[in-house]
Amino acid sequence: MPLPHLVSRQVRGNMSNRGANGMTNSEETHFRPARIGALSSFSLRPPGSFALCPDPALGDESTRDLEYISTTVREATRPFGVLGLILTGSVARGEGALIAQPSGISRWLSDLEFQVVIPGGRRTADIDAALRHTEQAINHAPANRQRGLRVGFNSIRVPQLARLRPAIFSREMLEHGKLLWGEPSALPLPQWWCEGRVDIPLLDAFRLLNNRIVQQLDARLRCEGCANTDLLPAYTLQKFWIELATSLSVFLGCYRTSYRERRPALSTLLKAQPQLFGEIGQLLIARLTEAIEVKLGHAAPSACSNEAFNEGAIVAATVWKWETEQLLARPSADYDWRSVGARIRQLEPYTQKARDWTRLLMRRASPRELLRNVGAALRAGSLANAIYSAGCLLHFHWDDIGSGDAGGAEILTNLSSLFRIRPTVGAQGRRAVATAVTEAWDRHLRFAPR
């Protein structure tokens, strides 16, 4: 079906403020929701003082897990003068996916993500090494692997905390993050948050969509290599619908920080403006409703399939194309697979490109990995651009690339060259490139500060 070219009145207003390059003077376009009523600060919230998942029957188990992680991190970072450990993400909002299984062993589907706050003058290399070691020790422990317990730690300096930019991640952390231990008085809040200005950049919402598209590659690879009894790929597919809706809701001005509020807000808007996405919008709301039920523990994720991933890819391609049209302020007559990388390059602000290159060159990597990633970054403008453009092309054209037809083979050859992978046709070549892309994403972007 043809892709929609209409935009909401609010987005049209945002578009009219752009210059000739399609961006505002600040390089980012914002929507302005109503001011929130009460601004949170980082008061101490130790494990057990708040819910981690919607199922009260699993409250004690989830609290024990958090206490174990909190204590482990505290001991591992004791020599470094860490100022606090902040739990972020859906688990901090009490929306973590922890499910009971017939075996009687609970299973985490959500990752548990943390910000480790360190003093401004301290070098981060030793702390980051300790965090990576702790992360691997927790994630690879047999009992944790059996229960799907997976953590991610990101160190953040006090000055970085004070200078956090408005973004989906920072707004949700400031509104819902839990300081498990530390010194509340030592953790500054960004000025924009203290003043009640909670604008979200459209580019941040677009970046979220790209991150989740790349994550779908990992889920598809897992589905190809395991039985349908593995819940993680199926859950990743369900969560994709939520994050796709999150990205779109920012563009449409109806973003909410909790899953419980997000679906009705977006559903109401799309029903009021059916001309925006037509049947695609209806499909998105239907799948979002199912995904929220899974996320809140009211239903188990359905077994993943190639058809289910392809359905998500069709909707994602529609939304991705529409969002780039709004950001570039131009119609999509020039759109084909070759324009995907060009659009991403045009939309990346110089400051983001500089941060990406700095992170790439400062990250510890083997000479071979560094050479491959630097080569991809040079070709695409930054490593993030290379990862995102490859992720989109693989997800949007998965079957074409795997079938080895002329169009798919051309895309695969292009991506193999981008990541310096020996060209191989069909599903084998697709797996090689998808593996390289997801590994680069996991090491370079997964828990990167925003």
User: What pLDDT score was predicted for residue 169?
Assistant: 93
Q: Does the structure show a pLDDT above 90 at 40?
A: no
Cβ distance 251 to 205 under 8 Å?
A: yes
User: What pLDDT score was predicted for residue 27?
Assistant: 36
User: What pLDDT score was predicted for residue 369?
Assistant: 83
The tens digit of pLDDT for each residue in 338-360 reads 899 999 999 998 988 998 888 88
Q: Does the structure show a pLDDT above 60 at 26?
A: no
How many percent of the chain have pLDDT more than 90?
Answer: 62
Q: Does the structure show a pLDDT above 70 at 54?
A: yes
Cα–Cα distance measured from residue 239 to residue 111, given in angstroms and rounded to the nearest whole number: 12
Q: Does the structure show a pLDDT above 60 at 21?
A: no
The tens digit of pLDDT for each residue in 209-261 reads 999 999 999 999 988 866 556 778 888 899 999 999 999 999 999 999 998 89
Cα–Cα distance measured from residue 29 to residue 23, given in angstroms and rounded to the nearest whole number: 7
User: What class is the 56-198 domain?
Assistant: alpha beta
Query: How is the chain split into domains, by residue range?
Result: 1-33+199-328, 56-198, 336-450
HEC per residue, the chain? CCCCCCCCHHHHHHHCCCCCCCCCCCCCCEECCCCCCCCCCCCECCCCCCCCCCCHHHHHHHHHHHHHHHHHHHHHHHHHCCCEEEEEHHHHCCCCCEECCCCCCCEECCCEEEEEEECCCCCCHHHHHHHHHHHHHHHHCHHHHHHCCCEEEEEEEHHHHHCCCCCHHHHHHHHHCEEEEECHHHCCCCHHHHCCCCCEEHHHHHHHHHHHHHHHHHHHHHHHHCCCCCHHHHHHHHHHHHHHHHHHHHHHCCCCCCHHHHHHHHHHHHHHCCCCCHHHHHHHHHHHHHHHHHHCCCCCCCCCCHHHHHHHHHHHHHHHHHHHHHHHCCCCCCCCCCHHHHHHHHHCCHHHHHHHHHHHHHCCCCHHHHHHHHHHHHHHCCHHHHHHHHHHHHHHCHHHHHHCCHHHHHHHHHHHHHCCCCCCCHHHHHHHHHHHHHHHHHHHCCCCCC
The tens digit of pLDDT for each residue in 122-172 reads 777 889 999 999 999 999 999 999 999 999 999 999 999 999 999 999 999
Q: How confident is the model at residue 39 (pLDDT cuts 50, 70, 90)?
A: very low
Between 396 and 104, whose confidence is greater? 396
Q: How confident is the model at residue 363 (pLDDT cuts 50, 70, 90)?
A: confident
Q: Does the structure show a pLDDT above 60 at 447?
A: no
Cα–Cα distance measured from residue 21 to residue 345, given in angstroms and rounded to the nearest whole number: 13
Q: What is the pTM of this model?
A: 0.84
